[in-house]
Amino acid sequence: MEETQRRALRRGRARLVAELRVAPLWDPLEDRGLFTRTMVEELQSAGSRGDQARQLVIDLETRGKQAFPLFLSILRDTGQGDLADMLMKECQCPLVPPQLAELRPVELELRGKKHNKNVNLPERLSIPVQVESERPRTPPAPALGLAVEKRNRDLVYELKADPCGHCLILNNVDFSRDSDLSTRVGSNVDCKKLEKRFKSLSFDVLTRQNLKAQEMVSELQKLAQQDHGALDCCIVVILSHGCQTSHNQFPGGVYGTDGKPIPIEKIVNYFNGSNCPSLRGKPKLFFIQACGGEQRDRGFVVDCDSPGDEAPGGALESDATPFRAPVGGTDEPDAVASLPTPSDILVSYSTFPGFVSWRDASSGSWYVETLDRVLEQYAHTEDLLSMLLRVADAVSAKGRYKQIPGCFNFLRKKFFFTCK
């Protein structure tokens, strides 16, 4: 598919999601070879009509050179010619970044005049460097950089809803005596910071405190079973003790207040495309403040002293617990092939698998404290992965013992938060 056609589908996506009647399309899409029966059934299982329309438009971009004209023909055959006309107009409309839209009238006036022979104007309406440089004021470098970054709409998740999604925070502080797990002093500091931060980033935040393992599972399933069709994203934050677990996809586990572990991959898979259709194609972000094991990293010698060589004042604690082998053996290797692809998922861990994650009793965990600060400073200009690199760099420089956050990234595009 040509780039102009892809761009037309993206520009028209909002109207298509709102107005497209998908039911009459399924048979023609299959009959004309755009989709197989299996693909059509998968689209039909995407959720509501709007969700099906959204996924159809996204998948059309992958269906070859003839996909766009065939889709227009099918729209007209099913009485939806107005949508076909809209897409044709969008296909003929040039790409103008919203941040530079004010330049368009200037270029229209230039086209209506007789130009000097030495001046080379583009054949198509665009944003030439010559015209842009004639503006009396040049945007500051950060703002211009963001405009260039976000003009590649095919590489950026669109967040248009308000709120843009749900954010569930599970904060376990007090554990039962039978669990042999200590009170996580300082976790409430983390929780309050993240509540405030994600509310400022246009999320509807729900916090649940001191839950047993099954109660945590219930809250996660309840969130996954909601209709996210009108939303663009979902966030899950877990603040608890952690451990190593057997896994196929995502390492580590977190504990309920009763001392029972929940594998991270089980948590993540509640929200994958098979179990949560209304979040298909939408970013699902998980932030885990918990230990990945019991190892304490003393670091290695470098040529210069790391900043913050000693940890801030206050007692340091870790969220580590011993590794517990799963009961009843391990998963068979053959089971891996049947697992759904974890697309549009990012899991950010506070520490490397197998190592402890440090928490200060007064200021909270190193990871959350740094994450909150980085989001405050950079969320309006940088994508999530760039900010997580900043978090990893800052946390790795702390303390006598060392810690390095990391992530398992299965996002297909860059993710920019919406800042109020």
Rounded distance, CA 60 to CA 69, Å? 11
Please tell me the total number of residues recorded for the chain in this structure: 420
Rounded distance, CA 206 to CA 102, Å? 40
Distances (CA, A) of 146 to 6, 163, 216, 249, 327: 22, 22, 38, 33, 50
Residue among 413, 241, 215, 212 at smallest CA distance from 324: 241
Asked if 349 contacts 288 with a C-beta cutoff of 8 angstroms, the reply is: yes
For residue 267, report the phi and psi dihedrals to the nearest 5 degrees.
-60, -50
Rounded distance, CA 39 to CA 21, Å? 18
241 is catalytic: yes
Three-state SS at 178:
helix
Asked if 270 contacts 220 with a C-beta cutoff of 8 angstroms, the reply is: yes
**Residue of 164, 234, 276, 291 with catalytic role:** 291
Rounded distance, CA 350 to CA 290, Å? 7
Distances (CA, A) of 30 to 100, 192, 283: 41, 51, 29
Q: Containing H/E element for 238?
A: strand 233-239
**Residue of 241, 243, 276, 407 with catalytic role:** 241
* CA dihedral of 314, 243, 272, 345, whole degrees rounded to 10: 50
Looking only at the bridges linking them, the beta strands covering 284-289 and 345-349 are: parallel
How is residue 154 annotated by DSSP?
Answer: G
**Gyration radius of the chain over CA positions:** 25
DSSP labels, 6-55? HHHHHHTHHHHHHH---GGGHHHHHHTTSS-HHHHHHHHTTSSHHHHHHH
Which residues are annotated as catalytic? 241, 291
